[in-house]
Amino acid sequence: MTPPVSTSSVQKRARSPLPRRLLVTGGAGFIGSAFVRLCHRQGRVSGDADSGHCIVLDAMTYAGDRDRLTTVLDASRPTQLVVGDICDRALVDHLLRKHEIEAIVHFAAESHVDRSISGPAPFIQTNVVGTFTLLDAFRQHWDACGQPAHYRFLHVSTDEVYGSLAPDAPATSEHSPYAPNSPYAASKAGSDHLVRAYSRTYGLPTLITHCANNYGPYQYPEKLIPLMFINMLLGRSLPIYGDGQQRREWIHVDDHCDALLALLELGEPGESYNIGTTDEMTNLALVEVLCDLMDRQGIPLPIAPCRQLIQFVRDRPGHDRRYSLNCTKLYHELGWHPKISLETGLKDTLTWYLTHRSWWEKLLSGDYQTYYQQQYGSRTSAP
């Protein structure tokens, strides 16, 4: 597959007016909710007559949680949560019209690689069919509104579409070929190509972003960093796939969302942008850093030092060895740079998990427990 790229420069174009009436899909998820909270903190949606609003459309799957939005969802604030499916065309049409939406910021997805291996069907439905539904509805809406130049369809994709890099290979740029290896990555790649097609065929003003691994507050416990912090607090083993030498690039979720806001304003329609930090580490080295951070808290732990909890488990099938993003386009053409160092971001994230125990404890039953038993039960002890 070839990637959605072209060669024009953002520096050549003027700033567009920022779209202010946003439909944020998946806005009750980890990254989508951070984006909505950031919009509020920055006063981009403030409730004034001439200010914008965020309509969150979220199906509230196991990964969606209203509590991530409690600080922005009260009667006086201009953010509303609509529980619904992005595949529901009539609902999407209705929301676009009723709220005079200027931009869709599209986070909604099935997002966990392990779940895509054990059950790929929902990934195709939400990530491919859902993205198609949104694109087609937004095209009609944009046409009906007279094709305003500042309208945007911002599609939040992933570095995983580029596939695995050799240890010494140069970082992937927006021109690198697509080579997805998991059903998750393939479904995101498929959706990227639909977005590209709607830009090229219909002139729809789209943006595609490829972001590195995110971490930060409110991340669901199945993902690596919260999984490790929570298991340390519970005295459970820290499962590491294979030899732990898979390399990943990490970005704080607030930096990711800040870059998305910059791109809504400055990104060239039809283009794609990598969003990363150059903070690349092996999974094992990262987990060791997390263990040392936890040990230094001086709090009572069931088992310490935490490194003794590390347990190597059977590797994930098709596990990519390395992702690394070349972000020259974002850094040089837009002048955007990440602001949160990995050291500070990880410390702050640990503090957040220590001070929000009730948030993650409520997630450790039901679906999560079933998932955890299936994923690690035969290989290590579960929380």
Active site residues: 159-160, 184
Q: Which of residues 347-376 bind ligand NAD (CB under 6 A)?
A: none
- Minimum CB–partner distance for residue 13 and ligand NAD (Å): 26
Of 81-89, 163-171, 315-323, 340-348, the segment contacting ligand NAD by CB under 6 A is 81-89
- Minimum CB–partner distance for residue 94 and ligand NAD (Å): 15
| Residue from the set 10, 23, 31, 309 that interacts with ligand NAD by CB under 6 A | 31
208 vs 294, beta carbon nearer ligand NAD: 208
158 vs 231, beta carbon nearer ligand NAD: 158
286 vs 309, beta carbon nearer ligand NAD: 286
Q: Which of residues 94-113 bind ligand NAD (CB under 6 A)?
A: 107-111
Q: Which of residues 166-205 bind ligand NAD (CB under 6 A)?
A: 188
28 binds ligand NAD (CB under 6 A): yes
Backbone CA torsion sign across 289, 116, 189, 315: positive
26 binds ligand NAD (CB under 6 A): yes
Cα–Cα separations (whole angstroms), residue 99 to 36, 52, 53, 311: 16, 10, 9, 50
Quote the CA–CA distance of 39 and 22 in Å, as a whole number.
10
**Among 287, 325, 323, which Cα is nearest to 167's?**
323
Spell out the residues 6+ positions from residue 83 whose beta carbon is closer than 8 angstroms to its own. Answer: 58, 59, 60
- Minimum CB–partner distance for residue 250 and ligand NAD (Å): 9
**Among 373, 4, 342, which Cα is nearest to 176's?**
4
Quote the CA–CA distance of 284 and 374 in Å, as a whole number.
22
Phi, psi of 241 (to 5 degrees): -70, 135
- Helix ranges (DSSP H) in the chain: 30-41, 89-98, 113-118, 121-123, 131-144, 183-202, 224-234, 253-266, 283-295, 328, 342-355, 357-361, 366-376
282 binds ligand NAD (CB under 6 A): no
59 binds ligand NAD (CB under 6 A): yes
Closest residue to ligand NAD using C-beta atoms: 29
Please report the DSSP string for 123-179 in residue order: HIIIIIIIHHHHHHHHHHHHHHTT--TT-EEEEEEEGGGG-PPPTTSPPB-TTSPP-
Question: Residue 258, Cα to own-chain centre: how many angstroms?
Answer: 13
How many residues touch ligand NAD under the rule CB under 6 A: the total is 31
Buried b (16+ CB within 10 A) or exposed e, 261-276: bbbbebbbbbbbbbbb
Draw the binding track, 107-146, toward ligand NAD (x: CB under 6 A; -: no contact): xxxxx--------------x---x----------------
Draw the binding track, 299-338, toward ligand NAD (x: CB under 6 A; -: no contact): ----------------------------------------
- Minimum CB–partner distance for residue 240 and ligand NAD (Å): 18
Q: Which of residues 199-258 bind ligand NAD (CB under 6 A)?
A: 211, 213-214, 220
The site for ligand NAD (CB under 6 A) is made up of 25-26, 28-32, 57-61, 63-64, 85-87, 107-111, 126, 130, 156, 158, 188, 211, 213-214, 220
